[in-house]
Amino acid sequence: MAGIFSTLMLSAALIAGALSGAFTSAAQAQTAGGYGPLQISWEVRNRFRLFREERDFLLHAETGRGRSVLASEQALAIQSDGRGWARNTVNRLCIDLAGRVSEPCTRDNVKESYLTPIDHPVVIRLTGPVPVGATCAWTVDDGDGPQTSAFDCAEPVNLRVRYGRTTVVTADVSSSEGSQRVFTEIAVRDIFIAGLGDSIASGEGNPDRPVALADEGFCFRSYLGTAAAQYYRPSRAGYKGGRACEAPDSLAVWQRQSALWFNPACHRSLYSYQTRTALALAIRYPHIAVTYLPLACTGATIADGLFGSQRARDCLPSKSGSGACQGTVNGQLAELREAVGAAKRRQADRQLDLVLLSIGANDIYFSGLVADVIVDTATERTLFRRSGVMASVDDARSAMARDLPQGFAKLREALKPLVGGDLSRVVYTAYANPTLANGGAPCPGGRAGFDIHPSFNAQPQRLAAVSSFVENEFLPQLRALALCEGGILCRNPRADRMTFVDGHQMAFANHGFCARAENDPEFDRQCFSARGDSFDSDIVTAASQPMLCGRSAGEYRAYLPRARWIRDANDSYFAAMTYPQGLPTSQQPSDIHDATWGVLSAVYGGAVHPSAEGHAAMADAAVPAAAAVLQLDAAVPEVTSQPAAPIPVAPDVPRPPGRTGLN
C-alpha cells in the first residue's frame, strides 16, 4: 500500500486538547446520531518469531481461534490427513538443523535480529461502525516525530514499530457523517522463552517429517540366532539397497530416507509441548511477540544434558545420507547462558522472561525401566542387563533418593541468575504416567503395540510395578522437588519454588499406550492387532508383504487423532525408525540388518513418549501457568476516541532513516 509521508508538529497542548472535556458534548452528539464508538485495534504480525514465514503462524492462529491446543492439533491433523502440519514448516525456521540461531533471520523478507529485535511488524485497523467511504488520516509517532498517511478507513495499515518504545497512533476519520479522532498507544512486549529438559521436553516420538514406509519388508537378524533367525518389518520408501539379511548395504544408503527433526541431534520437534506452549501464548495474546529458544534434548539428565554435554541422537541429514555428526551436544545451561549473554551485549535490558522445564526421568533410569518391562526373551534380557540398558524399580528408587534432590538443588542455583533470581519464572511441567488407561487402571500388558520386535512383550507384573512406582513415588517426588515440599530442603523455600504444572495428568489416565477406540485410524484398527500378531512371521512372504492385514505400511499416519496419547513401539518404528548415528564408531554395527539396529529402530524414535496429541494436552496445562507468571492477562488501557480537532501540518521534509513507517 503506497503512502504519503509528512512530518507534523504535534504539540503537547494539542494532545491535551484532544483529551479534554471540551469535546465531550460534541462526541456525545455524534454517538447519539448513530456515529458510535470507533476504535483502533492492533496486533503483532507473525508474532511467533521462530517462524520465518507468516503463513505458518496464520495456519495456527486461524485453526487455534476459540480452540484448545489439543483441539487445534486434532483439527490440523485431520487437515493434513495425518501427515502432520510441521512437515513443511520445519524448513522455514530461524534456527537451523544444527540448533544454531540465524542472526540475522530473514522473516517475511525483512532481516531481523532473532534474540534482540529492534522493531516488530504490526497491523492496525479501525474497528466499530466505520462509515462507508470514510477516509482515515493516520498519524504514527514513536517519539522521533510523527508520520502521516491517508487511506480508506476499511483498509488495514501495516507498519513496523520500535521495540522498547511506545508508539502513539491516531486516526482522524472523515466522512459525510462528520469527523472524529481515535487514538491508541502501541507497545509490543517481546517475551523471551527458553525450553530446557529431556525427551519429553524435546518432543521425542514426533518427527517433524515422519519416515515414509514401503510395501516391502526389510530384514533384521535376531540376537545370537542362527542364519534362519530373521524377521521382516516394513522397509523405508525409496530405499533401493539390499533388503534381505544376506544382501547388506551401507547405513548411508539407508539414511537417505530417514525421518526429519528440526534438530536431529536432540530429536527436537515442533510438536513438543514446549514449542506448542510458546506458540499458544503468541496466538492468544496479539500484543506480544514470542522469541523462543528450544534447547531440550532427548536423553538428557541434569548432570549430562543440562550441565554437561551429552551424546547426540542422530546426525544431520544430507543428500548423500552421510551427514556430518559431531557426536556430542553442548550442555543446555551453557548454551542458554551464551544466548542470554549475547542478547544482553546488544540490548542491555534484554532478559529471559520464562523457562519451560521437564527433567528427572533419565536421572532415575526411566528408559531402563521401559526396557525391563518390554524386553521379554531370555537372550535379550541377559544381554541388556550386562550392558546396563535395563534397570529395576529398586534401581530407580535408589537414584531418586540419592541423586535427584542434589541435582535439583544444583539446578536451582544455576537457573536463578538466568531468571533474575525469581524461580517462579521456571515453569516445571511434570510427566504423565504413560501406562494408564480406562480411568487410571494400569494397562494390562501383552504384545499389542510392541510386536514390532520379536523379543518385546509388556510383561504384566513388571508393567504394574513400574506403573505404581511412577504414579505413587516418582511423580509426587517431582512435585515436592519443584515446590520445596514434602521434606525437600531448599535454601529459601519461598524464592526457590518453581511454577509447577501437572493438570494434564488426569487426562492422560485414559490415554496410555494401550488405549484403543472405535474412532482410531482405520489402519490402526485393521493392522495393529490387539493380540500382538500384526506381522507375518514367514520370512518368504514377509519379504514382499510384512503386514498380516495385507495393507501397505505406507498408509500409516503418525498424526491422525487416536485414543492413545503415548507412542508404543509400533508407532516409534512406523513414525521414526531411528538408528542412533550419534553413538561412537566402535558401537556402530557395520551391517544395517544387525540385531542391535532391529531393537533400536523400534524404540529410539520415541516409544513410550507422548504423541502430538499428548504434547498438546500438556501445553493446554502449561499455557495458563505461563500466562499467569508473565501477567499477560493484566488489564489493557481502553482506546480513546474523540471528535477531530484541526492538526497543524508542517512542510514536507525527508523522512530520516529508521523511523516508524506505514505501508
Mean of the per-residue pLDDT values of the chain: 88
Residue 60 contacts residue 72 (beta carbons within 8 Å): yes
Backbone φ and ψ for 138, nearest 5 degrees, come out as -90, 135
Give the pairing of strands 328-329 and 178-186: unpaired
| Lowest mean per-residue pLDDT among 175-184, 246-255, 495-504 | 246-255
Select from 261, 265, 269 the least CA-distant residue to 619: 269
- The CA-CA-CA angle for residues 240, 245, 246, to 5°, reads 95
Give the pairing of strands 426-429 and 499-501: parallel
In 3-155, DSSP assigns E strands to 39-44, 105-107, 110-112, 119-127, 135-141, 147-152
Question: Who contacts 330 (Cβ-Cβ below 8 Å, separation ≥6)?
Answer: 309
Name the 3-class secondary structure at 214.
Answer: strand
Residue 214 contacts residue 541 (beta carbons within 8 Å): no
652-659: average pLDDT:
40
Residue 105 contacts residue 111 (beta carbons within 8 Å): yes
Residue with cell 529431556: 198
Backbone φ and ψ for 95, nearest 5 degrees, come out as -130, 130
The count of residues in the chain is 663
| Lowest mean per-residue pLDDT among 146-160, 222-236, 356-370, 615-629 | 222-236
In 374-424, DSSP assigns E strands to none
pLDDT of 324 strictly over 60: no
Determine what percent of the chain is predicted with pLDDT higher than 70: 87
| Angstrom distances, CA of residue 513 to CA of 440, 500, 656 | 12, 25, 61
Determine what percent of the chain is predicted with pLDDT higher than 90: 75
Rg (CA), the chain: 28
Q: Exposure string (b/e) for 296-306, b if CB count within 10 Å is 16 or more?
A: bbbbbbbbbbb
| pTM for the whole structure | 0.90
Residue 181 contacts residue 18 (beta carbons within 8 Å): yes
Highest mean pLDDT among 254-268, 330-344, 590-604, 637-651: 330-344
* CA 485 distance to own-chain centroid: 29
Q: Which amino acid is at 359?
A: I
| Angstrom distances, CA of residue 28 to CA of 33, 41, 171, 325, 638 | 8, 22, 19, 70, 18
Please state, in angstroms and rounded to a whole number, the distance separating the CA atoms of residues 521 and 562: 7
Q: What is the pLDDT of residues 77-122, one digit of tens each?
A: 999 999 999 999 999 999 999 899 999 999 999 999 999 999 999 9
Q: What is the pLDDT of residues 348-383, one digit of tens each?
A: 999 999 999 999 999 999 999 999 999 998 888 988
Q: What is the pLDDT of residues 298-311, one digit of tens each?
A: 999 999 999 999 98
Tell me the pLDDT band of 662, cut-offs 50, 70 and 90. Answer: low
Tell me the pLDDT band of 425, cut-offs 50, 70 and 90. Answer: very high
Question: Who contacts 117 (Cβ-Cβ below 8 Å, separation ≥6)?
Answer: 49, 163, 190, 289, 291
Q: Which carries the bigger pLDDT value, residue 180 or residue 17?
A: 180
Residue 636 contacts residue 286 (beta carbons within 8 Å): no
Select from 358, 363, 365, 369 the least CA-distant residue to 302: 363
Give the pairing of strands 426-429 and 354-358: parallel
Tell me the pLDDT band of 21, cut-offs 50, 70 and 90. Answer: very low
Tell me the pLDDT band of 228, cut-offs 50, 70 and 90. Answer: low
Residue with cell 469535546: 23
Residue 534 contacts residue 573 (beta carbons within 8 Å): no
Question: Who contacts 416 (Cβ-Cβ below 8 Å, separation ≥6)?
Answer: 423
